[in-house]
Each structure stands twice: as C-alpha cells, then as structure tokens.
Chains A and B, each alone.
Chain A
Amino acid sequence: MSDAVSALQGATHEGFVTVAEAGLVGMLSIRCDLTSKTLLKALKAHGFPKPEPRQIVEAESGALAWMSPDELLLICDHAQAAQLARTLSEALEKTHALIGNVSDARALFRIQGAKSDQVIMKLCPADIAALPTGEMRRTRLAQVPAAFWRSGPNEISLICFRSVASYVMGLLEISARPGSELFETASPSS
C-alpha cells in the first residue's frame, strides 16, 4: 500500500510566529446522539469524559472535541486511527451512530508564538481575545470553514479540510509576516 502523507508534508513558515502544518494526525468523526449511554461508555473506555458543548478535552489516547450537538471529533495518532475506528464501531454496533476515519481528509496546523492570536484575529470573524482555553471554536477562516483551539500556552491548533490546506497555509503565512502585527503585545489588553 502507498505511504500516507499529510497535505503539506510538514511545511513550516517563520514570521512573527511559527506556522507549521502538523504532519500526519489521526482524526475520527463520530456522529451519534451524544447522550447515548453506549457512546459515553465507549468513550470512557478510551479515557474520555462526557463531552460538553464546544469543549475539547485531552486524554492519554488523544483529544476529543465537541463539534455540533450530534458530532464529535477524536484526534489521535495517525497509525492508531483505523484500529480505534474499528473498536468504536464495534462498541456502537447496536446504536444509531457513525464513525468515520477522516484522518486523510483533514489538515492540522500549529501556530506557535506569543502573538499567535493575532494571526487568527486577522482571518476570522470570531472574538479570539475572549476564546477560553479548552474551547473548540468552529468558524470561518477567510473563505473556508476551520476549527481551532488553544492547545497550549502561546499555541493555537487549527483544523481545516485537506483540499484547502494550501490555501489555509497561504493565509496563515501572509497573516504571520513580520511587520504585520496588530499590536506590540500579545493581546490588546496586556
């Protein structure tokens, strides 16, 4: 079988922050009634608590994000995604649910640096300054849908469709060019 490659194969740009495509990442899309006991049990077996609206929680086997009232996104190791999808599908066999391995249909970016907020601020209609840690924000990045969250101090992770990965990289790279900062400090209030 051919080797899996990520959309931009880890391309990196240095601006006033570092913008990098994160390489191969496993992602499972889970469509189900999120109050289903079978689902909660299956998630608990992998160390995930009950997903709360818009929250993303990290666990040993990856991260679990609430995407909509009937959709979750499980982010895991690329090599384990297929196996994890099988395990979850088996656990949810008798439930009205769908597990999709979307690892190769998405791209993940990491924006690292004290001013990483500003890169996103220029591209999204969302209120980035008010975005709490642990919240998955789905919104519009210029002309395409995207989702992002604060994945660490001074780091934002961003997911988009693979087909628009090079467009998104172009946006992020231009938005992060030195001299185009919005303010001197990390945020307008600090």
Chain B
Amino acid sequence: MLTLTCPCCGITAEETEFAPGGEAHLKRFGPDSSDADFEGYLFARKNPKGVHFERWRHAYGCGKWFLAARCTATLEVFGTYAAQTHKPPADLIKKIKAKRPEWEPQA
C-alpha cells in the first residue's frame, strides 16, 4: 500500500484517501500541433519499472492536486511536491539518485 504525504495540508495518509491522476509533467500539444504530437500527448504514457512521477489528488482530504515521485516496483515514495512545478525539484532528483544510482532523470 502506498503512503503519501500531501504537501498542501501536510497529512500523511494511505492511498485510498487519494485519487490517482496519471503521469506527471506531460507537455500539452493542442490545436496547431502535429497529429503525432497530439496523439502522443493524449495516449503515449511511460510505464517504467522503477522511478515514476505521478499526479495525485487528496480527494477525501483538502482536495488539492500534487505531484509524487515513487518506485512502481517497491511502492517506495521518494517525495511529494507542489502541482505548480514544471520539473521534478533538484533536491528530489538528488535523493532519488542516492537511492537508485542506475536511474537517469529524463529530459
């Protein structure tokens, strides 16, 4: 079971209190983009075994969205951070690198 800490209200709770929102840090391709880019934005998702960045919503709590970094294989949560972040924060990447030396952050 996942235990997440909501950065908006500070509550640490298990996953049934939250609602998953899929992959984080997607770049939107809207009107005027190429068909391939738009299809990629709509459907192509990473499905890694290991470090993954996700969107979550504290649905039964404060109701706010936030982002989380976790390991899909062990369910270890490396950290949670504000939804208003375009890239994973540098200190979080450092923390993940320390725990998973073989992992490389993707651009």
The chain A residues found within 8 Å of chain B, CB to CB, are: 53-54, 67-69, 71, 125-126, 137-140, 145
Contacts and interface: CB of A to CB of B under 8 A. Distances in A.
A53 B9 contact: yes
Contact of B17 (A53, A54, A125): A125
Given A68-B8, A68-B9, A138 B14 contact: no
B9 A145 contact: no
Given A68-B62, A69-B9, A139-B17, 15 more contacts: A53-B9, A53-B10, A68-B9, A68-B61, A69-B8, A69-B62, A71-B62, A125-B14, A125-B17, A126-B17, A137-B11, A138-B61, A139-B13, A139-B60, A145-B59
A26 B10 CA distance: 28
A3 to B, nearest CB: 33
Main secondary structure of the interface of B (DSSP, over half): loop
A71 B62 CA distance: 9
B61 A69 contact: no
Contacts of B10: 53-54
7 contacts: A67-B62, A69-B9, A69-B62, A125-B16, A137-B11, A139-B60, A139-B61
Main secondary structure of the interface of A (DSSP, over half): strand
Contacts of A137: 11
A16 to B, nearest CB: 26
A127 to B, nearest CB: 8
A54 B14 CA distance: 18
B30 interface: no
Contacts of B16: 125, 140
A140 B60 CA distance: 6
A110 B14 CA distance: 25
B7 to A, nearest CB: 10
